Each structure stands twice: as structure tokens, then as C-alpha cells.
Structure 1
């Protein structure tokens, strides 16, 4: 059987699957991989329509910290996808970053689609109830 898909279809499927896995408290690495794959496609798709990422395109990040911030934001995604330079590297994955990855993807998705899906609505509704332990740790990237 063949499935006809657009890039947006693929990104939406990845995002919704990541959200479902998140709520089921399933594998954090899989959630991150799916969320970041969706986020990248949504960011690329949205850029031509003037849609901005709340993290990648934020004007709230200090200019002198932007490169470091983006490295931090993408280091796990890149670690999970590639082994060409760091085949023997070991990372301690900070699972809380999934909340930020999903939030960014959900916001870009909503801006592109003009609406929320049941999954994205559920994520945004339940977000305030989650404990964000990495939030305070990363304040040094923000402008005063």
C-alpha cells in the first residue's frame, strides 16, 4: 500500500505521535527524536510563511549566547541522529528538554495550520502541570 504525504503531513504525524508517547510516559529518546524531526520540518515550512520558532528565532536570547543556546537546544537531537564524529561519545539526556521541543513544535504547527488538534490542545492544556526542572538552569541565555 502507498501513502501520499506532504512534508507537513509527515511533520504532523511525527508531532502527534510524540505527544501521544509523552502522555503515555514512553521512551523519552523516541519522543525527542520524533518531536525534533517534526520541529525541523515545521520550522522550515513556516519560515517561508513568516512563522517563527519561539526558541530558534527568539529575540529574547542574548546575542552573545545565541550560538551556545542553539548548541544546547540541538545537541541531543544531533547525538541521536548522527554517529559520524562522536561514535564513542556518551551523553546524559535531560528528558525535560522534550517539553520545550514539543512546545516549540506545537506552537509552530498551530501557526501554520491555524488551529489546534486534540493532541496539541491537550499538550498545551496540561503543560502548566508539568514540573520544568531545567527552566531555572537555562536562564543565563535570556536577555535581562
Structure 2
């Protein structure tokens, strides 16, 4: 079955997101999402000459390429450090998924239902990290802020239930630019 690198990266990223929202093994999620990210990162400059990958590299450099790649390299290689240990951080895994989604969207101008669900869920949990402007209606903005507080205070299972519901919703109501998976 022939497959392009872009299709392979999408399938890896989608699988990583499904595993993540189903509370599956974080190491598998990390490995799949980082493999997808790397493929997308490598092909981006060959498809788009807008300099975004350079900007992304600068951002990751500022936050630390070493840290960004540490767990991924740990999970791939053992030739230099067969007895090493690491602590895979969930936030690093989330960041890798997020960067993969951004690259995929910029390359294809589309998102899979998994990508839409994960992105929406992360923005609901962490609106402060996404610079979402406040709603012009103060009552709606207040309701939104209260909902975010409740969501953040909810148990992990409840938070993931929202992610699963979003995935179901986006599968049943795909946007025209969303490829069917």
C-alpha cells in the first residue's frame, strides 16, 4: 500500500491523539506524536517557503531542543546509554502533539477529527496559553471563565471525557476542509 510521508505523519498523529484521550500508554503516545512531528518538521520547508519552520525551530530552541528531544531520543536509542532512565512529562507530549497539529494544518490547510478534538480540548483547558481574546459580551466571557475553572478542577477522567466527546462530535460533524479518516 503506497503512502506519502504526509499521510503517514497524519496517521501517526491521529493514532497518538486517540491513544492519549483514551489514557493509553504515554510512552507510545510520545513516540508516535514525536515521529509524526519530526516528519512534518522535516518536510515543511520543502512544501512551504514561508519561514515558519525556522520560527518554530527558534521557539523550540528557546524552550530547549535538548529537553524537547530528550524523551523521544530515550525511547528510540540505547547505544550510548543502555541503563539510562528518564521521566516523560505529559506536558512535553502535549506540546509535541500540538506542534504536529500546527505543522500539519499549515501544510494541508486541513485537520483530522482527532486533531480538531485535541486542539479544541487543549484550548478549553489552557486558554491562557493560546492568547484567545475575551468575548466582547462580558456575561458570555464570565460564563466561559467559570466553565474553564470547573473544567480545570475536574478529575482527569472527566477532562478526558470531554476530549472523547469532542472527537465523536468532529467525526460526526466534519468541517469541509477536514479529511475523512
Common topology (TM > 0.5):
yes
TM-score range, shorter chain: 0.7 to 0.9
Q: Structure 1 residues 77 and 47 mapped into 2: Cα distance closer, same or farther (>3 Å)?
A: same
Partner residue of 2:133?
none
Runs of 5+ consecutive residues of structure 2 not aligned to the other structure: 130-181
Residues 105-120 of structure 1: matches in 2 within 5 Å?
Answer: 105-120=100-115
Compute the displacement of 1:22 (Å).
1.1
Runs of 5+ consecutive residues of structure 1 not aligned to the other structure: 136-144
Structure 1 vs Structure 2 CA RMSD: 2.2
Partner residue of 2:57?
57
Are the aligned partners of 1:55 and 1:104 in contact in 2 as well (CA < 8 Å)? Answer: no
Q: Distance in 1 between matches of 2:55 and 2:88?
A: 19
1:42 to 2:37 alignment: no
Runs of 4+ in 1 over 3 A off after TM superposition: 53-56
Partner residue of 2:84?
89
1:25 to 2:32 alignment: no
The alignment partner of 2:87 has SS state of coil
The alignment partner of 1:42 has SS state of helix
Deviation readout 1:51-97 (Å, 9 max, x if unpaired): 63498423x56xxxx38710010000000000010101111221221
Compute the displacement of 1:50 (Å).
2.9
Q: Structure 1 residues 87 and 29 mapped into 2: Cα distance closer, same or farther (>3 Å)?
A: same
1:76 to 2:75 alignment: no
> How many pairs align?
125
Q: Structure 1 residues 130 and 87 mapped into 2: Cα distance closer, same or farther (>3 Å)?
A: farther
Compute the displacement of 1:128 (Å).
2.6
The alignment partner of 1:25 has SS state of coil
TM-score (normalizing by structure 2)? 0.63
Using CA pairs under 8 Å that are at least 6 residues apart, name the structure with larger relative contact order, 1 or 2. 1
- Name the larger-Rg structure: 2
The structure with more helix, counted as a fraction of residues: 2
